[in-house]
């Protein structure tokens, strides 16, 4: 099938590459000429495991191409995915200007019947706005559908190629048939394509991310409660996670959620709820808990150092909001850096992939080091913020020798408190027993 994907960011690039991998002829269009030229050279502007290999292979075999000519890409394709950004506005609402600009371009270049798919995360009602924007530019025939993405950064290729489910909102037989054909290779093992009406598909995306964010904030609240009553959140997590009604996913306490999806989508759902007179008190609480949780590692460091961080050096392991990505948007690590700098501390940080993306935000206000142990060298404390595999089993004896003071704040509960204390560390986790 001939497919255009407009927008070559995280979602658009993964979508285009994976659709090309299953034999479709895919054109990825983006108005950023520099990005397009980099992609033509197989220079991937984001880190996502496995993505570069798929892009390289499908370009070489002629199924995947990149262009700045959005109109030409639309004309050449049967299915057009809109995968541009929807950043949050100051009021928390999703900014649809880029989505609607693409819709108008589609309308101006509608040469035959197209299936126009909103892949960007958009609030309920957006498909109708897209339809109206296209209609304003053409009298030609087209179908609009909603196909929200459920990709986890760091595992996006597997998520796309082996999805739990595919959600598609349609209102014409043509759209249903085309989308069923396009996604057939991904559901051969029996996982479903869930066809539904368009508003339900649009709500499903926000509801899914809001539920996952809620689980994270709930578990972080339980962790803080455990500290106050002498319980261990790791045991509590196992105790509730083995209940089949609850399950184990997204029950790991930590320094709060970040990234491009959860914070933005929770805000957008709250905002949309207000617009239709439906309060989301539970999501407002989720957001409040998360903002507090982002300060937990800082507060533990500050308390352990007697309230005075001025002139202290803090080593930091992890800058990305999660492992296996270079994305630092809304990262708890950046919040921690800002608070430490504000209180006069010096920060020396390591991350396997996110140092350049961090530098674009923080500049040279912190020190970037190229191996984990250098981050600990001469530091008054070490904080773990991102759960990269390289941090899972370090040489603790070497680490203790490098630190000025063997103070370790484990924001991801990677280590056994008893083992660390036996080695002479002053260890602080999230919701772990103090003794």
What is the tens place of the pLDDT at every residue in 206-233?
999 999 999 999 999 999 999 999 999 9
Element (H, E) at 14: helix 10-21
Query: Based on the domain organization, do 303 and 379 belong to the same domain?
Result: yes
Per-residue model confidence as pLDDT tens digits over 66-98? 999 999 999 999 999 999 988 877 677 788 999
User: Could you tell me the residue range of the domain that residue 382 belongs to?
Assistant: 295-428
Q: Is the pLDDT of residue 418 over 80?
A: yes
Query: Based on the domain organization, do 135 and 36 belong to the same domain?
Result: yes
- Among 195, 218, 234, which residue terminates a domain? 195
| Phi and psi angles of residue 422, each rounded to the nearest 5 degrees, phi first | -65, -30
Question: Could you tell me if 383 and 317 are in contact, meaning their C-beta atoms sit under 8 angstroms apart?
Answer: yes
Residue 435 lies in a domain: no
Query: Based on the domain organization, do 109 and 188 belong to the same domain?
Result: yes
pLDDT of residue 121: 87
pLDDT of residue 87: 81
Distance CA 49, CA 157 (A): 8
Question: Could you tell me if 71 and 39 are in contact, meaning their C-beta atoms sit under 8 angstroms apart?
Answer: no
Query: Based on the domain organization, do 238 and 328 belong to the same domain?
Result: no
> In the structure encoding, which two tokens stand for residue 259, read together?
């990234």
Per-residue model confidence as pLDDT tens digits over 288-331? 999 999 999 999 999 999 999 999 999 999 999 999 999 999 99
Residue 346 lies in a domain: yes
Query: Based on the domain organization, do 19 and 149 belong to the same domain?
Result: yes
pLDDT of residue 145: 97
CATH number, domain containing residue 373: 3.40.50.720
Number of CB atoms found within 10 A of residue 231's CB = 16
Question: Could you tell me if 118 and 147 are in contact, meaning their C-beta atoms sit under 8 angstroms apart?
Answer: yes
Residue 398 lies in a domain: yes
Alpha helices in 76-169 (DSSP H): 97-108, 126-135, 156-161
Query: Based on the domain organization, do 316 and 279 belong to the same domain?
Result: no
Query: Based on the domain organization, do 91 and 117 belong to the same domain?
Result: yes
Q: Are strands 426-428 and 407-410 parallel, antiparallel or unpaired?
A: parallel
CATH number, domain containing residue 236: 1.10.1040.10
Query: Based on the domain organization, do 281 and 256 belong to the same domain?
Result: yes
Mean pLDDT, the chain, as a whole number? 95
- Among 195, 214, 230, which residue terminates a domain? 195
Residue 349 lies in a domain: yes
pLDDT of residue 60: 98
Residue 325 lies in a domain: yes
Query: Based on the domain organization, do 269 and 382 belong to the same domain?
Result: no
Residue 105 lies in a domain: yes
- Reported confidence tier of residue 435, pLDDT bands at 50, 70, 90: low
Query: Based on the domain organization, do 16 and 74 belong to the same domain?
Result: yes
Distance CA 361, CA 372 (A): 21
Cross-strand partners of 264: none
Contacts of 375-378 with C-beta under 8 Å, sequence gap 24+, read: 375/315, 375/316, 375/317, 375/348, 375/349, 375/350, 376/315, 376/402, 376/403, 377/315, 377/348, 377/402, 378/313, 378/402, 378/403, 378/404
Question: Could you tell me if 323 and 411 are in contact, meaning their C-beta atoms sit under 8 angstroms apart?
Answer: no
> In the structure encoding, which two tokens stand for residue 138, read together?
């053409």
Query: Based on the domain organization, do 22 and 160 belong to the same domain?
Result: yes
- Among 269, 292, 315, which residue terminates a domain? 292
pLDDT of residue 32: 95
How many structural domains does the chain have?
Answer: 3
User: What's CA 62's distance to the chain center, in Å?
Assistant: 30
pTM for this predicted structure = 0.92
Question: Could you tell me if 119 and 81 are in contact, meaning their C-beta atoms sit under 8 angstroms apart?
Answer: yes
SS in 3 state form for 288-356? HHHHHHCCHHHHHHHHHCCCCCCCCEEEEECCCCCCCCCCCCCCHHHHHHHHHHHCCCEEEEECCCCHH
Residue 254 lies in a domain: yes
Specify the residue for token string 């919040």.
Answer: 335
Residue 200 lies in a domain: no
User: CA separation (Å) from 319 to 207, 213, 322, 351, 368?
Assistant: 28, 20, 8, 6, 10
Residue numbers annotated as active site? 261
Query: Based on the domain organization, do 332 and 393 belong to the same domain?
Result: yes
> In the structure encoding, which two tokens stand for residue 32, read together?
């950023």
């Amino acid at each position: 099938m001939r497919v255009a994907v407009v927008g070559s960011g995280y979602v658009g690039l993964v979508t285009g590459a994976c659709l090309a991998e299953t034999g479709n002829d895919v054109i990825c269009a983006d108005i950023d000429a520099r990005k397009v030229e980099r992609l033509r050279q197989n220079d991937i502007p984001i880190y996502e495991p496995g993505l570069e290999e798929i892009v390289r292979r499908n370009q070489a075999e002629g199924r995947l191409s990149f262009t700045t000519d959005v109109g030409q890409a639309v004309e050449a394709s049967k299915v057009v995915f809109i995968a541009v950004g929807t950043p949050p506005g100051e009021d928390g609402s999703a900014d649809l200007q880029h989505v609607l600009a693409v819709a108008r371009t589609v309308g101006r270049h509608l040469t035959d019947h197209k299936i126009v798919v909103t892949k960007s995360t958009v609030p309920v009602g957006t498909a109708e706005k897209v339809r109206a924007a296209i209609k304003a530019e053409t009298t030609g025939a087209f179908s609009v559908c909603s196909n929200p993405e459920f990709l986890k950064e760091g595992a996006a290729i597997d998520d796309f190629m082996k999805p739990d489910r595919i959600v598609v909102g349609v209102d014409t037989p043509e759209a249903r048939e085309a989308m069923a054909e396009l996604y057939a290779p991904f559901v051969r093992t029996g996982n479903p394509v869930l066809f539904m009406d368009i508003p339900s598909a649009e709500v499903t995306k926000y509801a899914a991310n809001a539920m996952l964010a809620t689980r994270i904030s709930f578990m972080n609240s339980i962790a803080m409660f455990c500290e106050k009553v002498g319980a261990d959140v790791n045991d509590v997590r196992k105790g509730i996670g083995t209940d089949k009604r609850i399950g184990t996913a997204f029950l790991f306490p930590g320094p709060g959620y970040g990234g491009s999806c959860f914070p933005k989508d929770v805000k957008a759902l709250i905002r949309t709820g207000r617009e239709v007179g439906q309060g989301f008190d539970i999501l407002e609480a989720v957001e409040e808990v998360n903002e507090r949780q982002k300060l937990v590692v800082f507060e533990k460091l500050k308390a352990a150092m007697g309230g005075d961080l001025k002139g202290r050096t803090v080593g930091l392991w992890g800058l990305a909001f999660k492992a296996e990505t270079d994305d630092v948007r809304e990262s708890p690590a950046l919040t921690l850096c800002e608070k430490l700098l504000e209180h006069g501390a010096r920060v020396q940080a390591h991350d396997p992939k996110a140092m350049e993306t961090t530098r674009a935000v923080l500049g040279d206000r912190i020190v970037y080091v190229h191996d984990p142990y250098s981050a600990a060298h001469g530091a008054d404390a070490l904080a773990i913020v991102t759960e990269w595999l390289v941090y899972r089993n370090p040489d603790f004896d070497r680490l203790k020798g490098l630190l000025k003071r063997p103070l370790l704040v484990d924001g991801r509960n990677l280590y056994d408190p008893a083992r660390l204390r036996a080695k002479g560390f002053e260890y602080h986790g999230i919701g772990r027993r103090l003794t």
